[in-house]
Amino acid sequence: MSGIETNTPPSRVEPGGSGDEVDRIVAAWAEVSPTLDTAPLQVLSRVSRLARHLERVRAEAFSAHGLEGWEFDVLSALRRAGEPFELSPGALIQQTLSTSGTMTNRVDRLEARGMVERRPDPADRRGVKVRLLPPGVEAVDGALAALMRHEQEMLSALSSDERDALAASLRCLLLPLDAR
């Protein structure tokens, strides 16, 4: 290239060459805008593409067990709470990043399906607890097992050390974002 310095990583792949779709996108940008720093695309476009694949895999695992994603989120929060598998609506809101109105609707729908029940909070007569019922335990456990099989398969190209390093790197990226 006519002596123009680029910030494109050395793993650059020419359009039509070998590599993944992100390599082809980055190579195309390097051709049309050689001074553009495309380094973030190398990571974040792959994260975005992985998220789309993960959403598809999650939807398949959940639907195979009669659940939608939001149902899995609520049921798994209750399951993780341990015996007797109950939380306050406020704790569910915090763990699922939803609003009060949304959570009321979600608990209503799960209650109608026989997966959870509302019970008086023994520590606060005005409060309630949402308790996971056996059909909810069965559904969330089955969906989680299927999800873990799919996610293990997605990560099978990485060694254990590579998985640990990737998890640590992603944690470093997420901590400041989650703190906002």
In degrees, to the nearest 5, what angle opens at C-alpha 175 toward C-alphas 97 and 22? Answer: 95
Amino acid at 91: A
Q: Which fold has domain 69-140?
A: Arc Repressor Mutant, subunit A (1.10.10)
Once rounded to an integer, what is the mean pLDDT over residues 84-109? 95
Percentage of the chain modeled with pLDDT above 70: 90
Q: Which pLDDT does position 19 carry in this prediction?
A: 87
pLDDT mean across residues, the chain: 90
Q: Which pLDDT does position 85 carry in this prediction?
A: 97
Confidence of residue 62 (pLDDT cuts 50, 70, 90): very high
Residues near 117 by beta carbon (within 8 Å), at least 6 away in sequence: 111, 130, 131, 133
Count of Cβ atoms closer than 10 Å to residue 133 Cβ: 18
Once rounded to an integer, what is the mean pLDDT over residues 47-53? 94
Confidence of residue 3 (pLDDT cuts 50, 70, 90): very low
- Before 84, cis peptide (omega within 30)? yes
Closest CA to 72 of 142, 165, 151: 142
Q: Where are the domains of the chain?
A: 69-140
Pair 121, 127: CB distance under 8 Å: yes
pTM (two decimals): 0.77
Which pair of tokens denotes residue 114? 């026989």
Once rounded to an integer, what is the mean pLDDT over residues 44-68? 94
pLDDT in tens, 131-157: 999 999 999 999 999 999 999 999 999
Count of Cβ atoms closer than 10 Å to residue 23 Cβ: 21
Closest CA to 12 of 52, 41, 51, 48: 41
* Position 16 pLDDT exceeds 70: no
